[in-house]
Structure 1
Amino acid sequence: MRQLILLRHAHAEPPAPDQSDAERPLTEGGQREATAAAAWLAAHDVQPDVVLCSPARRTRETAISIVDVLGAADALRFEPRIYEATPATLIDLLDEHANADCVLLVGHNPGLETLVALLTDGTSDSGRGMPPGSIAWLHVDADSALEPGAANLRHFWWP
């Protein structure tokens, strides 16, 4: 059984004048959300083989909070393809890590919520939303391809 853990970044500041979207930091509340997500993952004994993270500041800050608590800093990889990714791009990226038992991907909406709907329900229009800091923990049979309806939702959590 493969585990795919999809984590949306925690709440971020709105863009300041002359600041790019990619450079938006977490709010104080977002920092608390990231800490809560890390605690939840640790309480569930998550041990990712690889942590894939968008290079956007808010995802980096969220991921660092997580890997510090999980002791998984060596597993952290910044992946530019996650920023503004479609579900197809995210599936391609996850397929590149098909040999990992547990992949934690830290990214953005709408890509993450659409990916969860696609992998669990087989459709891309039934997304239920992923609030900032939320986690969708999916199971996929080890020999199964990542395709519509191939995953089961094990947990859905948000701060």
Structure 2
Amino acid sequence: MKQLILVRHAKSSWDDPNLRDYDRPLNKRGKQAAPLMGTRLQKRNIQPDTIISSGAKRAFDTALAVCEEIGISKNEIVKNDELYLASPKEILKTIRAIDPESESAVLFGHNPGISEIADFLTDEAPEDMPTGATIIIRFDIDNWKDISKGLGKTEYYSYPKASE
């Protein structure tokens, strides 16, 4: 069994028009939402073996906040610039490359890729994941390279504005 957690970065700021898209930080709402989503994962006893984040500031800052809430060192987060605005095909390539010894992995990324890969992997995913949205998908496989279309079962889905 493998567990994949997909997280869309929390709400980002557009205040500085001179910043490159890659460098945009979280806004006030995003800074509140990211730890909230981490707390929700912590309550579900989520402890991923592998943490991979887009290198974009808003995604990496979301990863930092979530990992702090679930008690994982920031040193465990692997930055992967291939996840920055990645297509579902590129995200799938990253997932399939995860060490087979890892039972649980979390990826922090961007739309539309995160929503599209969730939809590809399970028929139960929402069409469009809002900022901060988190989905946990379980796969009855032994190796990440065996992940394919529709193979996943959604175990949990939430987003910052959802009541829990």
- TM category, shorter: over 0.9
CA gap 1:143/1:158 in 2 versus in 1, 3 angstroms:
same
- Structure 2 unmatched ranges of 5 or more: none
Say whether 1:107 aligns with 2:109.
yes
Give, as a single letter, the amino acid of the residue that structure 2 aligns with 1:137.
I
Q: How high is the TM-score relative to the length of structure 1?
A: 0.92
1:50 equivalent in structure 2: 50
Distance 1:97 1:38 in 2: 22
1:132-147 paired onto structure 2 within 5 Å: 132-143=131-142, 145-147=146-148
- Runs of 4+ aligned residues of structure 1 deviating over 4 Å after TM superposition are none
Distance 1:10 1:120 in 2: 22
Mapped contact 2:141–2:147 kept (Cα < 8 A): no
Distance 1:54 1:146 in 2: 21
Q: Which segment drifts farther, 138-147 or 90-99?
A: 138-147
Q: How high is the TM-score relative to the length of structure 2?
A: 0.90
1:80 equivalent in structure 2: 81
Distance 1:109 1:15 in 2: 20
What SS class does the counterpart of residue 89 from structure 2 fall into? helix
Mapped contact 1:10–1:59 kept (Cα < 8 A): yes
Distance 1:15 1:81 in 2: 26
1:116 equivalent in structure 2: 118
What is the alpha-carbon root mean square deviation over aligned residues?
1.6
C-alpha displacement at 1:16, in angstroms?
A: 1.8
| Identity %, equivalent residues | 28
Deviation track 1:44-76 (CA, whole Å, cap 9, x = no partner) reads 101010110001110111110011122222421
What SS class does the counterpart of residue 121 from structure 1 fall into? coil
